[in-house]
Amino acid sequence: MILNSPGYTYDVHSLVKAFYPAEDVSVVSDAPVDPGAECISVFVSSGDVKDDVKVSGFIRVTAPVTGKTETCEEEYSDIERSQLKSLLKRVLYGILVRMTEKELPWGTMTGIRPTKVATALISQGESDAAIADHMRSVYLCSDEKIKLATAIAHTEKEIIDSLPDNGFSIYIGIPFCPSTCMYCSFTSYPIASWEKRTDDYLFALKKEIDYFSNVYRGRCPDSIYIGGGTPTTLSAAQLKDLTEYIRKSFDLSHLREFTVEAGRPDSITTDKLKVLREAGVGRISINPQTMNEKTLRLIGRRHSVKDVYVAYDKAVDAGFTNINMDLILGLPGENEDDVKYTFDKITEFSPASITVHSMAIKRAAAMSEFLASHGNITSRNTPEMMRIADESARSLGLIPYYLYRQKNMAGNFENVGYAKPGNYGIYNIVIMEEISDIAAAGAGCISKRVFADGRIERCANVKDVAMYIDRIDEMIDKKRILFEQ
């Protein structure tokens, strides 16, 4: 792509990438080296615009469409930067639709959380019809996705309104897994390589917990989420030590939710589940991702479908009633029949919640290289797969309660959490809607502070486990700058 205004690089790149997820997309400010190369050219006559300036001019987009060069030009008058960006994306979108002969379910909505748009308009007293008109005209969203985002926004608002004004959430990261899945780009390391240093990691983790305990003295968290990685790669004794340390470090008298992402069925034991129940954990995840054996082997999940049943039965026997199951659409080689098979099996469990993920292919994940070298295996998500997931979840009495999107998602779809009323994942809503602080401890974790004026600032820990252990005091010092100003 050629773009004369670098301030819009992210917007045009992300939109083109949404249409061409498997292609390398580059944005330059001058002509390509090869004069015969076919590319998209975007010209904004007023160039980069600051937030406090109104401008007039025109946008011109030129691109190859059905074997010929096509140009689309649109004028604008007395508009601000945000309006200009939206117009630019709509003009570019029209050309891309003609180039690819397809439309995107979320239209031009890239880099924007759909529910945030709907929530803001609900807070302003707008009707659902007005929200639909706005999302359709500004972002070119499909009616189906508008309806989904609006319904979720209403559910989220009810939950958010029920939370105290001075609440916060705690995230504890355990960056170890039984093995690394092909699609994973999170901070995760095989537990076998770190077993001799897990106690060192937990010692550093406790130092961070001590810091947050002082910062939030006198305040009660809304939710606690222990994620990863796979937290249940820790031993039962280590889990007991960690959960007890958390309980004694914070006032949990009004805690609404305590979640542990058990995740991998091959990491779950009766002893570990007993420890979690005794610690007051009320919500866990058991995440098969798929119920197809061939796919589990392909993506590096070292457990079987049978292991999922065994782990789930153990959790029920331990007294857990709020169990979430994560599933991924767009896993390599899977089609609609595979997805239907998975959801037919999942309905046998009747879990309290299901989180449906659309595959996002990240460069940092092994899957990116795998797909590049195996042209006969594809990763794709389709409207039919999304329909199967949605209808299966709703057949169990689950309703969509949170939604988020990522770059490079197969089919340009979304991740949706479904749950039975009363079993919504509060932490999921809090982190997506950015309504309160996140005190995050652990390698690769990002703490977040939400200021009274709406400003949001973040502080990230190093991802490498050894560096986290060695530099824990430095990580805490960085947080002092954020949380003590």
- pLDDT single digits (tens) 283-317: 999 999 999 999 999 888 889 999 999 999 999 99
Mean pLDDT, the chain, integer:
92
Collapsing DSSP states into helix, strand and coil, what is residue 174?
strand
Residue 310's CB: how many other CB atoms inside 10 A?
14
Q: Is the pLDDT assigned to residue 36 strictly greater than 70? A: no
Q: What pLDDT score was predicted for residue 406?
A: 81
Name the residue with higher pLDDT: 371 or 264.
Answer: 264
Question: Helix 114-123 vs helix 426-433: angle between axes, to the nearest 10 degrees?
Answer: 80
Q: Is the pLDDT assigned to residue 269 strictly greater than 80? A: yes
Cβ-proximal residues to 6 (8 Å cutoff; 6+ apart), any chain: 29, 48
Summarize the confidence of residues 29-49 as an average pLDDT. 79
Q: What pLDDT score was predicted for residue 192?
A: 85
Q: Is the pLDDT assigned to residue 424 strictly greater than 80? A: yes
Summarize the confidence of residues 399-409 as an average pLDDT. 87
Rounded Cα–Cα distance for residues 220 and 110 (Å): 35
Q: Which CATH architecture has domain 163-475?
A: Alpha-Beta Horseshoe (3.80)
- pLDDT single digits (tens) 166-195: 999 999 999 999 887 777 766 678 888 898
HEC string of 49-65 equals: CCCCCCEEEEEEEEEEE
For residue 440 the two structure tokens come to 């995050």
The DSSP code for 8 is G
Work out the percent of the chain whose per-residue pLDDT is above 90: 79
Q: Is the pLDDT assigned to residue 334 strictly greater than 90? A: yes
Summarize the confidence of residues 189-206 as an average pLDDT. 93
- Residue 430 and residue 115 in contact, taking contact as beta carbons nearer than 8 Å: no
Cis peptide before 422 (omega within 30 of 0): no
Name the residue with higher pLDDT: 311 or 1.
Answer: 311
Name residue, tokens 């949170």.
402
- pLDDT single digits (tens) 336-381: 999 999 999 999 999 999 999 998 765 556 666 666 666 667 767 8
Q: What pLDDT score was predicted for residue 81?
A: 94
Work out the percent of the chain whose per-residue pLDDT is above 70: 94
Q: Is the pLDDT assigned to residue 33 strictly greater than 60? A: no
Q: What pLDDT score was predicted for residue 202?
A: 98
- Residue 225 and residue 276 in contact, taking contact as beta carbons nearer than 8 Å: no
- pLDDT single digits (tens) 448-483: 999 999 899 999 999 999 999 999 999 999 999 999
Q: What pLDDT score was predicted for residue 245?
A: 98
Q: Is the pLDDT assigned to residue 34 strictly greater than 60? A: no
Q: Is the pLDDT assigned to residue 50 strictly greater than 70? A: yes
Q: Is the pLDDT assigned to residue 15 strictly greater than 90? A: yes
Provide the residue ranges of all domains of the chain, joining segments of one domain with +.
2-100, 114-149, 163-475
Among 32-36, 122-126, 382-386, name the one with the lowest average pLDDT: 32-36
| Half-sphere exposure (Cβ direction) of 312: Cα atoms closer than 13 Å | 22
Name the residue with higher pLDDT: 228 or 408.
Answer: 228
Residue type, 290: T
Q: Which CATH architecture has domain 2-100?
A: 2-Layer Sandwich (3.30)
Q: Is the pLDDT assigned to residue 18 strictly greater than 70? A: yes
Quickly state the pLDDT bin for 38 (edges 50, 70, 90): confident
- Residue 60 and residue 95 in contact, taking contact as beta carbons nearer than 8 Å: no
Rounded Cα–Cα distance for residues 354 and 347 (Å): 10
Helix (H) or strand (E) holding 302: none
